[in-house]
Amino acid sequence: MNGAAGSQPVPRSERAQDTDALRRRRLAWRLAALLLLGLAAGLATGAGGFSPTRFWADLHGEQAWLLFGEIRAPRTFGAALVGALLGLSGAIAQGLFRNPLADPYLLGSAAGAALAVVLVLAAAALAGATLSLATALWLERIGLVVAAFCGALAGVAMTLALARGAVQTLRLLLAGVVVGVLLGAVSDLITVAWPDALRGKQAFMLGSTGFLGHSSLLLLGGGLALLTWAARRHARALDALTLGEDSAASLGLDLARVRLALVLMLSLGTALAVSQAGLVAFVGLVSPHLVRRHAPGAHGWLLGASAAMGAALLLGADVISRAVIAPQELPVGVVTAVLGGLYLFVLLQRRGQP
Amino acid sequence: MKRPLSRRAWLAGPLLLAASMAVPAAAGGVALRDDRGTEHRFAAPPRRIVTLLPSLTEAIWVLGGGSRLVGVDRYSNWPAELAGLPRVGSMDDAHVEAIVALAPDVVLASASARSLDRLEALGLRVVRLKSETHADVRRSLQRLALLLGTPAEGERVWARLEREMDDAALRVPAALRGARIYFEIGGGPYAAGAQSFIGETMARLGLANIVSRELGPFPKLNPEYVVRAQPDILMGVRAELQGMGARPGWGLLAAVRNDRRCGFETLQYDVLLRPGPRLGEAAALLADCLVRLGKA
């Protein structure tokens, strides 16, 4: 894969920066190619599994618009958008907390969003109108997003309160784990108390792109555009934060305001992704990692590249989830957890060696 | 679509098993072998029974053993006469202490779960009965009848279920025989395939299933599979069915556009989803809906 150029023990000269720029350009091309490949594979993978010949036949069949326009295209692009949102949120979280382990899941925001969604589903089930990801209409989706956003914010707020701010990284991560476990337990409790709420929840908790339609696309796309714009405006602030909070403050950064804005952004990104596709783990953690490993750079680059990486990863995972046991499906969250877990496993193994 | 399995084929299996499950018992006692192959001998028919599955609760009731039930699982909600019984959790989280305190002669459960081993270790008798197919239901009825000391009851109840299913089949409008059904379980979407007991009931009513046997009893399908299969009739929870038109691409399904749907309320849905002595009632519910669709 990538050469060992970046690990040469030479001082950071102009040449090293040149190679970094080169690596970034190379990664950008690779990501673009991967995205195109992923989108093509997503469109070619249907209930019959991955099959280009069948794709061709379907494309000329009577149901072409139904299959591609209504089902596969929204689902495939939706997977890419959810992945991008998670990748972007992960990059924001890791920059904000200057910790490569920070991700929407570790900060309690995903757990908060998930709990809020479960509450909405449970309330709806108790009210007699069972709504689930599958039957969610436009308004219900908005309702779920708003609830998920509030939940995500509450989750992060609890984490920050428990950690007494984001100053001590270790404390913050521990607090995030505690909050995640707590909120997860409450959501489990709800499912035990009201088994009716379970029906919609199980599929949701495992993550699914199966019912992403045009309305979700609009929501996810709009959210991603807004977040990308807002995040890029804060790219310089994130760069300054990597120097440490004191240095950042000495550069004239209003730390409180910047932190709040970044937390809001990462909560919104998580909430959008979770409310539309359920819990899809590891994409937010792994994407920024992969980008930094293969082509480090400032946040102006990192944010966008992590989003693209997340999109490519989730596209791949989605295709796998649809193709492996077609016409049955694996929950996409399980696929990402397996792939992400394996990646971290290999990474730790390598780090462990002298 | 595959033809439903012939009735003789699925009757032969349980008959052979039925012959093998009765083991010689001492005078006045009962003895039977459960689905794990464990042989159970009781000096007398059990007088205190705990059930961990709604279908088993219902089976004991129908077989006339309702008065012997001392505890049931949390999902058992039929018949209403049992509402006052202690609830002892469910298969996944049986309240071991509560069950032991009830001092049952026997605990009735489905296949393995960790809590069952615990109950056995505490000296309780756990009879494990599989209920995945019609054949399983029939076999379980026979065994439970044996257990209650009224061995003839099992076949009598089963014969009644057969009659009820046949009656329901006769009511299916001729135009809907062979209609291709999609029966959804939960919003996953999971489907009831031809291999499941629901699929077997549908086959008895002369209906076809868009989910063939190879896919297993309850596969989680790619939603596209359903759209592609163009089922004639959709079945499932009422609220879920009403929202189907909003799923991507599903609005164009003929069954959605022409409202060819059988939606069931929770209590009816329970009947459909339990492989127990209300199979006949379940078949009647399906037939009711088909009659309604046939008139429209």
Residue spans per domain, chain B = 7-130, 168-295
Provide DSSP, B124-175. Answer: --EEE---SSHHHHHHHHHHHHHHHT-HHHHHHHHHHHHHHHHHHHHHS-GG
What is the rounded distance in angstroms from the CA atom of residue B254 to the CA atom of residue B289? Answer: 18
State how far Cα A20 lies from the chain centre: 26
What is the rounded distance in angstroms from the CA atom of residue B161 to the CA atom of residue B11? Answer: 14
User: What per-residue confidence (pLDDT) applies to A352?
Assistant: 67
Which residues of B, range 211-270, sit inside 8 Å of A by Cβ?
Answer: 215-216, 219-225, 227-228, 237, 239-240, 242-244, 246-249, 252, 266
Q: Identity (one letter) of the amino acid at A178?
A: V
Taking CA atoms, what residue in B is nearest to A131?
Answer: B240
Portion of chain B with pLDDT greater than 90, in percent = 64
Identify the architecture of domain B7-130 in CATH.
3-Layer(aba) Sandwich (3.40)
A91-100, A203-212, A255-264, B23-32: segment of lowest average pLDDT: B23-32
User: What per-residue confidence (pLDDT) applies to B158?
Assistant: 97
Q: Please judge whether B247 and A135 are an interchain contact, meaning their C-beta atoms are less than 8 angstroms apart.
A: yes
**C-alpha to C-alpha distances, B293 to A232, B172, B200, B281, B288, nearest whole angstrom:** 57, 10, 21, 19, 9
What is the rounded distance in angstroms from the CA atom of residue B63 to the CA atom of residue B71? Answer: 17
Q: Is the separation of the CB atoms in B249 and A71 below 8 Å?
A: yes
Q: If we measure between CA atoms, which residue out of A285, A273, A252, A276 comes closest to residue A92?
A: A285
Q: Give the minimum alpha-carbon distance from B293 to chain A in angstroms, rounded to a whole number.
A: 23
pLDDT surpasses 80 at B236: yes
Q: Do domains B7-130 and B168-295 have the same CATH topology?
A: yes
Q: Identity (one letter) of the amino acid at B142?
A: Q
**C-alpha to C-alpha distances, B49 to B31, B52, B59, B240, nearest whole angstrom:** 16, 10, 12, 36
User: What per-residue confidence (pLDDT) applies to B61?
Assistant: 97
Interface test with A, best of B95, B222, B270 (most A CBs within 10 A): B222
Q: If we measure between CA atoms, which residue out of B270, B14, B264 comes closest to residue B154?
A: B14
For A281-333, how does the pLDDT look when each residue is reduced to its tens digit (9 = 90+)?
889 989 999 999 899 899 999 999 999 999 999 999 999 999 988 888 888 98
Peptide bond into B151 cis (omega under 30): no
State if pTM tops 0.90. Answer: no
A45-46 vs A49-50, strand pairing mode: antiparallel
Q: Is the separation of the CB atoms in A111 and A247 below 8 Å?
A: no
Q: If we measure between CA atoms, which residue out of A279, A125, A262, A271 comes closest to residue A191?
A: A125
Query: CATH assignment of B168-295, given 3.40.50.2300, 2.170.8.10, 3.40.50.1980, 3.40.1160.10?
Result: 3.40.50.1980
Backbone angles phi, psi at A349, to 5 degrees: -55, -45
**Which residues of B are less than 8 Å from A131 in CB distance?**
239, 243
Q: Is the separation of the CB atoms in B237 and A130 below 8 Å?
A: yes
Pairwise pLDDT comparison (A17 vs A265), residue with the higher score? A265
For B93-133, how does the pLDDT look when each residue is reduced to its tens digit (9 = 90+)?
888 889 999 999 999 998 766 778 888 889 999 999 998 99
